[in-house]
Amino acid sequence: MKTRSDKIKELPLIKWDLLIIGGGITGAGIALDAASRGLKTALIEKNDFASGTSSKSTKLVHGGLRYLKQLEFALVSEVGRERAIVHKNAPHLVIPEKMLMPLVKGGTYGRLSSSLGLEVYDILANVRKEDRRHMLSKEETLAVEPLLNEATLLGSGYYSEYRTDDARLTIELIKAAQRKGAVCLNYCEVKSLMHEDSKIIGISALDHIGGTAMNIQSTFIVNACGPWVDHIRAMNNSLTKKRLHLTKGVHIVLPHDKLPVKNSIYFDVPDGRMIFTIPRGRTTYIGTTDTDYKGDLERVLTTREDAQYLINAVNSTFPGISLFISDIESSWAGIRPLIHQGGKSASEISRKDEIFEAPDGLISIAGGKLTGYRKMAEKTVDLVIKRFDKPDEKRFGPCTTRHIPLTEDPLWNEEEVGYYKGAISRKISELGLMDYYAGYLVANYGKQTELIVGLMNDFGDAQPEEALIRAELKFCAEHEMVCSSTDFFDRRTGRLSFDIDRVNRFKGVIIDDLAQYLDWSEQQKMTDRNLLDQKMSDVTVFQADSV
């Protein structure tokens, strides 16, 4: 935040090689790729980084097992390779996760087809030898997951995925892009497109924090706005032929003792779909739905019908479990920006990405998966470089993002992550903090954890938990462009989803500290508190579906 005014002054003064509209995982990946190749790169996002789809996924960097059923072999192969790359570049943030797929009477997969499918999946996704699938008998399955329904269970497949925090992954990509020279700004919205001789040459934008209007010029502009891609395309009347098909995916979060699964499970539900239950710390989360969406993109809500669908799915699969909507602690609802395919339902539409080029030169990219963000970025920047005049081509290098760590001082492998987590555990236990926080901090921040633990000294009079959360806020305000308490509790720390009790407990002191860092008036503090309270209500109170 200390450099925000400098960024706002710089954006209109430079003619950029590439301006990216959209600060989700796709835009962030493009910014890192372009800046690392030598393009003068800028990125603007009208809300907070990762505030749309990129903080609302199932939080798995997965190989797309279900796409085998749709015979999308190339997609499975590509995302399988890509998840190995992002795991290598951020092993603290992209963590191996064993997944259990129960085989049930009348289910999606039989024993033979699932065994063959998982073996093909291992090959296509280039799964490490130690993580490759193995099949379990009914008895072996119940031994590892006794909550499953013995009456319908036939056995299971045990295979490997990777879990992550999608918003944290996006934030680290933004920071990595800035280290390579990109200028990235949140809360800066495109108001119109600028043209000269029928070609796009820039945008008019508004900074929502300070109210500054500016014109930003760029040789090329990429529209990577996720669900808002068609809104930008409508600005230059290029919204023809292919359009987005928006679908909603909802997840609910429960206390782990309400659904004490020992494994992440990918299971059949009565309507023929498959969903996940994933244990995460003190919680278990469940998702996802897949329904057409035509509502407000700025405020996507979990309805009572969404929540009840997921509750019913769990109750029908785990006979010893009896969940109610009142058991839900939190939730999130996100929009998938898919490419429309006539005659196909929400669940049947391909997750492939596609690039659209408008007559005025605007480049738009949509579709795709979290796992494939790096490859989407590479294809987009390759296209941009091809559009430059040939004499300019020589100054841009090849794509190197497969080798760029996502943090400045990286942990290089799983063993180093484990060793570092142990060292942090010992350090924070001396400060009076539970061991849980070691895993949380290292998974969120990697080696940046040491900076945060060091900042706890600035709050020496506070109890350990308060000192820690205030130290996190100070770190995020200084290094991650936090502009509101919702930025902090949602996108930077994940507490809005996975630890909402502590949001309630500490929101007062966090808003007070943030007001000091950002020089807020009492009115600004009240506005921020109201926005956080509204967001907390949105994720915990489920209204009837009106759409």
Tell me, yes or no, if the pTM score tops 0.85: yes
The amino acid at residue 156 is S
Q: Please report the sign of the dihedral spanned by the C-alpha atoms of residue 407, residue 411, residue 413, residue 419.
A: negative
The domains located in the chain, with CATH, are: 4-53+167-243+350-403 (3.50.50.60), 97-163+245-348 (3.30.9.10), 414-540 (1.10.8.870)
Q: Is 251 left (phi over 0), alpha (psi -120 to 50) or beta?
A: beta
- The gap between the terminal CA atoms of the chain, to the nearest Å, is 39
Question: What is the pLDDT tens value at each position of the chain, 547 positions in all?
Answer: 668 889 999 999 999 999 999 999 999 999 999 999 999 999 999 999 999 999 999 999 876 666 666 667 777 778 778 888 999 999 999 998 899 999 998 877 777 777 877 887 778 777 777 778 899 999 999 999 999 999 999 999 988 889 999 999 999 999 999 999 999 999 999 999 999 999 999 999 999 999 999 999 999 999 999 999 999 999 999 887 789 999 999 999 999 999 999 999 999 998 888 899 999 999 999 999 999 999 999 999 999 999 999 999 999 999 999 999 999 999 999 999 998 876 666 665 666 789 999 999 999 999 888 989 999 999 999 999 999 876 555 679 899 999 999 999 999 999 999 999 999 999 999 999 999 999 999 999 999 999 999 999 999 899 999 999 999 999 999 999 999 999 999 999 999 999 999 999 999 999 999 999 999 999 999 999 999 999 999 999 998 875 4
33: enclosing H helix or E strand? helix 25-36
CB burial readout 84-108, b (16+ within 10 A) else e = bbbbebbbbbbbebebbbbbbeebb
Local structure of residue 543 (DSSP, 8 states): P
Contact of 339 with 352, CB cutoff 8 Å = yes
Label residue 398 exposed, middle or buried (CB < 10 Å: 0-12, 13-18, 19+).
exposed
